[in-house]
C-alpha cells in the first residue's frame, strides 16, 4: 500500500485515493469546508517529497493555484490522488499555520515573538495575494459551481464527525515548531534573524 506522510505522520493510502480522503481517514489536520469539491482551497498542502507518485495538477488546481505555487509543490488535496507506492510527504496549510501560530504564542529557543509573528503575517498575506493573482478565474469558477454542490445529510454528518476527530487528535498532539527546517517550506525558513 502506498505510504503518505501527512504532517509528519505516516498513513497508509490506496492507489487512486485522493490525498484529502487519506488525510480525513487518519484525522490529519487539514481543511475541507467544501467537502472536497474544489471550491474552498482549505485543503491546500505542499508536497515535500514524492510528487511523482501523485496525479498531475488538474484543471481545478490550475484555476486556483499560480504557476509558481504549482512549481513549488502546492496542491489541493481534494484534487490530487495517489498514483504510486510513495512515500509521499505533505505538509498541509492548516497545520503549517497552526505551527506558525504556536511559535508566536510560545517562541522556540533562538526565535522571538516578533519574527515569528512576522512569518505568520507574511504567510497569511501571501495566501491572499496568491488568490488575488488568480482573479477572476477562481471567483467565477467558485460562483458558477457553488450552487451545484449539494451536501447530503450523510456528508454533513461525515464532515462533523471528521472535524471532531481531527480536533480531538490535535488537542492530544505534541508540539511541533514550524522552525523544524526539515518540515518547513524553504520560503518560510528564510526570515531574517533578530539582531539581538
Ligand atoms: S476541500 Fe475545498 S477545495 Fe479542497
The predicted structure's pLDDT at residue 144: 85
pLDDT in tens, 12-55: 999 999 999 999 999 999 999 999 999 999 999 999 999 999 99
Segments making up each domain of the chain, as ranges: 3-175
Distance 112 CA to ligand 1 centre (A): 33
CA 159/CA 165 separation, integer angstroms = 10
Helix (H, G, I), strand (E, B) or coil at 123: helix
Residue 143 — pLDDT band, cuts 50, 70, 90? Answer: confident
CA 37/CA 41 separation, integer angstroms = 9
CATH number for the segment(s) 3-175: 3.10.20.30
Q: What is the pTM of this model?
A: 0.88
Q: 76: which residues sit within 8 A by CB, 6+ positions away?
A: 38, 41, 43, 44, 45, 60, 61, 64, 65
Percent of the residues in the chain that have a pLDDT greater than 90, as a whole number: 69
State which ligand 1 atom lies nearest to the alpha carbon of 77: 4
CA 22/CA 82 separation, integer angstroms = 9
* pLDDT: which is higher, 136 or 18: 18
Count other C-beta atoms under 10 Å from residue 38's C-beta: 20
The predicted structure's pLDDT at residue 153: 64
Pocket probe for ligand 1: among 21, 39, 145, 163, the residue whose CB has the most ligand atoms within 8 Å is 39
- Residues touching ligand 1 (Cβ under 6 Å) are 20, 32-34, 36, 38-43, 76, 78
Q: 65: which residues sit within 8 A by CB, 6+ positions away?
A: 57, 74, 75, 76, 130, 134
Residue 148 — pLDDT band, cuts 50, 70, 90? Answer: low
Residue 132 — pLDDT band, cuts 50, 70, 90? Answer: confident
pLDDT in tens, 73-114: 999 999 999 999 989 999 999 999 999 999 999 999 999 999
Amino acid at each position: 500500500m502506498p505510504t503518505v506522510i501527512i504532517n509528519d505522520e505516516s498513513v497508509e493510502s490506496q492507489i487512486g485515493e485522493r490525498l484529502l480522503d487519506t488525510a480525513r481517514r487518519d484525522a490529519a489536520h487539514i481543511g475541507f469546508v467544501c467537502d472536497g469539491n474544489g471550491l474552498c482551497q482549505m485543503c491546500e498542502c505542499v508536497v515535500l517529497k514524492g510528487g511523482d507518485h501523485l496525479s498531475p495538477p488538474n484543471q481545478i488546481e490550475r484555476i486556483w493555484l499560480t504557476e509558481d505555487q504549482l512549481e513549488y509543490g502546492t496542491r489541493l488535496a481534494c484534487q490530487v490522488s495517489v498514483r504510486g507506492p510513495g512515500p509521499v510527504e505533505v505538509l498541509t496549510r492548516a497545520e503549517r499555520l497552526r505551527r506558525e501560530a504556536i511559535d508566536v504564542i510560545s517562541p522556540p529557543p533562538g526565535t522571538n515573538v516578533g519574527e515569528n509573528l512576522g512569518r505568520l503575517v507574511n504567510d497569511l498575506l501571501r495566501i491572499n495575494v496568491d488568490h488575488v493573482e488568480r482573479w477572476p478565474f477562481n471567483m467565477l469558477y467558485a460562483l458558477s459551481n457553488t450552487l451545484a454542490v449539494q451536501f447530503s445529510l450523510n456528508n454533513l454528518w461525515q464532515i462533523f464527525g471528521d472535524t471532531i476527530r481531527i480536533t480531538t487528535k490535535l488537542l492530544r498532539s505534541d508540539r511541533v515548531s514550524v522552525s523544524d527546517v526539515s518540515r518547513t517550506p524553504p520560503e518560510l525558513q528564510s526570515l531574517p534573524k533578530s539582531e539581538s
